[in-house]
Structure 1
Amino acid sequence: MLIQRGGLKVVAGLGVSGVSAVNFLHEKGYQVAVTDSREVPPGHDQIPATVKTSFGQLDQELLLQAEEIIISPGLDPKIPEILAAIAQGIPVVSEIQILRRATDKAIVAITGSNAKSTVTTLIGLMAKDAGKKVAVGGNLGRPALDLTKDDPELYILELSSFQLETTSNLNADVAVVLNLSEDHLDRHGDMFAYHTAKHRIFQGVKKVVHNRDDSLTRPLVPDATPMQSFGLNAPDLNQYGLLREDDGTMWLSRGRERLIKSSDIYIQGTHNVANALACLALGEAIGLPLDSMLNTLKDFKGLEHRCEFVKEVHGVRYYNDSKGTNIGATLAAIDGLGAAIEPQHAKVAIILGGQGKGQDFTALRNSLQKYVKVAVLIGEDQPIIETALQGTTTLLHAESLKQAVELCQKHTHENDVVLLSPACASFDMFTGYPQRGHRFVEYVNELN
């Protein structure tokens, strides 16, 4: 029999994290209700029948009866129904806040505008390989409250600005804001509010990791808080960074100590080197052995469809960045891989194209001129892309992705890189970017 505790907990907004919150609170014996503006919200069939539900609109009356409201990250706390509850003094919190209350175990907290998922996944693997009982999730993969079922000794959480907005005093063992660029301004209003939401991750933090190359990631915390930085320049003593040799070799380093060559890891590109350095700093903060972390890093192939290393064929490395569905993502991939290729005469062959969504492809011109030896165009917007990129590099056309892969093989030599990063949606040829990525991997594996 459930013990009914305290007042009513109302979950506002269902979906993945809402379902997780309802089930967690119900199992703990709390009186729970849930409201959602959708008539049939996702996950409505995954909660106990005894939980009171009010769907079709946010139930103002129900919200005002709450002892506490647990708000789903997809709901803006500034909507009238939530503001009315706040005006009555009803606390509005995230599921992350509920997790913090429910456990005294260590938390590694990760946020940023880009690369959160890569860093969260990699530091999770580093901790697991070092023998820690770890649970990884939050904004990535499993919802935070579901992770409590694993009874881990360590939580590694990817957190969004939406989750952090209603989280106070997370008291993480170590926290990082990886980088900050304009994002979600439609929700936060301006860059200052977005920055403020992200920096809530540092409330009560025991150790801080920040990005030297991005001053917006450095928090205002008490002077006694241990801080460690990572960046793509030569690091000071005890910090993480890059040391460059005269021949162009780049070493991931801690102070003057060279740890691993950038060419010895699968995840290539300066953006991924920064991610690796961030993980090493986070791992040090929670006491992971350096040798173990470097072994994990050496084997990590990246996340599927995000500059994911596929294989090497005749000295040419193939990368699947099918999730590069816009120009910004493709620029990061070209610049990141292009700058990291050794020796410097080696170049990138890129597969571009699909549905261009009205983007201005001239934004790719500089990077193509600098790093790309051949661009193979596929999909329905080939003519638009060709017009925008004329004169930058060799442009070829392919009728299919398979033919594009074969053309890339034909035009590359040892040390070159082949990159699928289309800068376009895929629906003209595929069901979505995952199918496009899987096909690319399949065709690369057929090469000989």
Structure 2
Amino acid sequence: MVGLKEFMASPASYRALVVGSGKSGFAALRFLHRLGCRVALSEKAEEPALDGRLLQWLQEKNVYHETGGHRRETFLDADVIVVSPGVPLELAELAAARQAGIEIIGEFGLGAAYLQIPIVAVTGTNGKTTVTKLIGELLQGAGRKVFVGGNIGTPLLDYLLGEQDAEIAVLEVSSYQLDTAGAFRPDVAVLLNISPDHLDRYGSYDEYAAAKLKIFAWQQPDDLAVVNADDPEITGRLAAAPIAAKTLWFGRELGGRPGTVVAGGKIVLRGMFSHEEKYELPAELLKSPNSENAMAATLAARVMACPEEAISRVLAKFERPPHRLALVTEIKGVSYFDDSKATNVGAVQSALEGMNQPVILIAGGRDKGGDYGYMAEGVRAKVKKMVLIGEAREKMAGAFAGMTSIEMADSLEEAVLKAARSAQEGDAVLLSPACASFDMFQSYADRGERFQRAVHNLNNK
């Protein structure tokens, strides 16, 4: 059977099958075609649902493609199979290929194998995009040429199809991508947190957590791992199964270990250089989980030789991605926060920990299989009322019964009205759903924008 090294040595000699035709799948097709190998596509969706540009490319290049399902023979005819992140790995055709000894790798893993520059990789249940973006901006602020992509923005193979003019790659990496990343070995691997998520895909929470830890699997002692010292899931698993990389920490307490803490409104870097380094945090980054994200990004950038001056300058002006614990406005002494990106229980718990006001929580949507009990501590301590929407509202009402007052709403707009009527001066109305958005909205961004419009409309009522 053909291994990845053999394939990379002479790609034109082999047949490659791409499974899944999304953004990363299209990038894989174009990359493999440029390498000269015989490429094919297998896609479960019907042909009319495919992107028009993809269909045109397939026709122009005379690439074999099957749609509306997968053929076992197509999979067994390949020497290498490249899977898109959303493709279920238990697919019967993939299982048959695996049993036949055919190399199976993800689009991300294939790209990483060809990448020839240092890599900073970021994963975690929550905060990945913010931290990836911030590390990229810190390094760019120091005059470095940086590619920022992976699970956000530009797929890795799209970068490899271009000029490849970066000197550092900062990559957001999902658990799905780590599942098929092969021998992925980042120079710096950042693990932000682990809490229940994507249990509609993984068989158990343990399986999901193990996927996140794969970011360290191929690192060596001269590589670096940046790890959350406050996350018991991470610290417990690393204590049970130590990693090879040198570990740096961020959190409230380092226990004498090297890394970053927040003290007196500043990030303090300890135990790494001859003196402590201190970086002023702007007000909007002082609230959890923003402070943890800033600590992790600062630490990763600093070990990549980002100068102190550049870190201070970029932190002062950094703008977080939208829909992440963003203050929308204040009306009659009530603060309204858009945290629509909080699509899992860990993200909501983290948001609640950062709130210093009584909270009216708007939550609900499409259930992702997480344990709502993970939020119980935050709900008891901070939430005076919940307004629940979407498919999961009955399940959530049962989970939080007796912890706080609960009301149902049939739409997000109705939920905002009910929350506003219940709120008193000094309260916060927080949209932090703990669920996917696809039962009622096109995306979490659509949900967040609808929330913001509903809040601004309160001024007209």
TM-score of the two chains, using structure 1 as the length reference = 0.77
Which deviates more from structure 2 when the two are superposed, residues 135-144 or residues 425-434? 425-434
Aligned to 1:15: 22
Alignment partners' CA distance in 2, 1:198 and 1:267: 25
Aligned to 2:97: 85
Q: Quick one: which amino acid aligns to residue 167 of structure 1?
A: A
Q: Which runs of 5+ in 2 are unaligned?
A: 1-9
Q: Quick one: which amino acid aligns to residue 141 of structure 1?
A: G
Kept in 2, the 8 Å contact 1:405–1:440? The answer is no
Deviations 1:27-67 (A, max 9, x none): 33322111123333644526432111122332222222222
Matches within 5 A, 1:23-34: 23-34=30-41
Q: CA 1:379–1:33 in 2, change beyond 3 Å: closer, same or farther?
A: closer
Aligned to 2:424: 411
1:334 correspondence with 2:352: yes
Q: Identity over aligned residues, as a percent?
A: 32
1:142 correspondence with 2:157: no
Aligned to 1:65: 77
CA positional deviation for 1:279: 0.8
Paired residues, number: 425
Q: 2:126 aligns with which of 99, 107, 114?
A: 114
Q: Quick one: which amino acid aligns to residue 294 of structure 1?
A: S
Aligned to 2:178: 164
Alignment partners' CA distance in 2, 1:122 and 1:363: 28
Alignment partners' CA distance in 1, 2:35 and 2:438: 45
Kept in 2, the 8 Å contact 1:119–1:275? The answer is yes
Which deviates more from structure 2 when the two are superposed, residues 10-19 or residues 299-308? 299-308
CA positional deviation for 1:440: 4.4
Aligned to 1:207: 224
Aligned to 1:154: 168
Aligned to 2:6: none
CA positional deviation for 1:119: 1.7
Aligned to 2:448: 437
CA positional deviation for 1:326: 6.3
Q: CA 1:160–1:217 in 2, change beyond 3 Å: closer, same or farther?
A: farther
Kept in 2, the 8 Å contact 1:120–1:157? The answer is yes
Aligned to 1:253: 268
Kept in 2, the 8 Å contact 1:267–1:301? The answer is no
Q: CA 1:291–1:142 in 2, change beyond 3 Å: closer, same or farther?
A: same
CA positional deviation for 1:395: 9.4
Aligned to 1:270: 288
Q: Which runs of 5+ in 1 are unaligned?
A: 244-248, 342-346
Kept in 1, the 8 Å contact 2:12–2:36? The answer is yes
1:177 correspondence with 2:191: yes
Alignment partners' CA distance in 1, 2:179 and 2:440: 39
Kept in 2, the 8 Å contact 1:235–1:241? The answer is no
Q: 2:248 aligns with which of 228, 242, 266?
A: 228
Q: CA 1:279–1:34 in 2, change beyond 3 Å: closer, same or farther?
A: same
CA positional deviation for 1:118: 2.2
CA positional deviation for 1:175: 0.9
Q: 2:112 aligns with which of 100, 103, 108?
A: 100
TM-score of the two chains, using structure 2 as the length reference = 0.75
1:48 correspondence with 2:58: yes
CA positional deviation for 1:11: 1.0
Alignment partners' CA distance in 2, 1:391 and 1:165: 37
Deviations 1:164-197 (A, max 9, x none): 2222222312112222334445644445544443
Aligned to 1:344: none
Deviations 1:117-148 (A, max 9, x none): 22222222222222222222222232221122
- Equivalent position SS for 2:159: helix
Aligned to 2:315: 297
Q: CA 1:169–1:76 in 2, change beyond 3 Å: closer, same or farther?
A: same
What is the RMSD computed on CA atoms of the aligned residues? 4.2
